[in-house]
Amino acid sequence: MGMPGTLFDLSGEVAVITGSSRGIGKAIAHRLAEHGASVIVSSRKADACERAVAEINAAVGREAAVACPANISSKEALRGLADFALERFGKVDTLVCNAASNPYFGPMSGIADEQFQKILMNNIVSNHWLCQMLGPQMVARGRGSIIIISSIGGLRGSPVIGAYNISKAADMQLARNLAVEWGPAGVRVNCICPGLVKTDMARALWDNPEILKQATAGSCLKRIGMPDEIAGMAVFLASPAGAYTTGQSFAIDGGATAV
């Protein structure tokens, strides 16, 4: 780490991570910073961003992280985030689209239009906007890595989170399309597809021990994942180690999709 030519060295790199004040996003920001990157922490609430920044900087022992709050549902806010990153650092090497929402739990037949639209806007269209905003400067420099956090839900049907899963399947296709478009310029685009991870978003599935047991029974490891267990794949995809990897979706799910 920090040595020139090392496989996972991110020294001098700049990363923007959405939804990074907690959960998987924060774990990714922390690990990218630990490997040498400057990271822009972003989520809706400024105080939550500042707390995460302080935590990351204390852990890595340098001013690696800065905060820039943004609501992913606002194109103007995302433009502000992209502009902030480019003005502050002059470039963005890695974009991690992690923020997402799921305001509905139940069958597709009962979902309201506004709920379906919100899921598609926040989980697909906002990712597309950020890629549009930060991809061209990667293309111009001939290098860059875009990492979209999808879900193994995008590989499966569900009786209760169908719309969310549709959006996550679309994230994988967004990554494939952009990998095709920007690959010739040296820009790589991939998805990480977590299984059940112990985050606030998934709290309903792990708060109750009985529900947790049911939720993990179908996986090889028979346990819930931790946010930090997703972060290593992001380090790989952002670093020289992942230089030949693009257009792919990686399931990190304790073996849930293997069963």
Q: Residue 80: CB partners within 8 Å, gap ≥ 6?
A: 68, 70
Task: Please give the Cα distance from 114 to 229 (Å, whole number).
Answer: 34
Output the six-digit token pair for 102.
């799921």
Q: Are 99 and 73 in contact (CB under 8 A)?
A: no
Q: Residue 196: CB partners within 8 Å, gap ≥ 6?
A: 202, 205, 206, 215, 216, 219, 224, 225, 253, 254, 256
* Closest alpha carbon to 48 in 29, 74, 75, 73: 29
| Whether residue 244 lies in the annotated active site | no
Among 129, 164, 182, 236, the active-site one is 164
* Closest alpha carbon to 22 in 228, 225, 190, 164: 228
Task: Please give the Cα distance from 185 to 136 (Å, whole number).
Answer: 10
- The DSSP code for 61 is T
Task: Please give the Cα distance from 4 to 17 (Å, whole number).
Answer: 24
Hey, which residues are catalytic here? 164
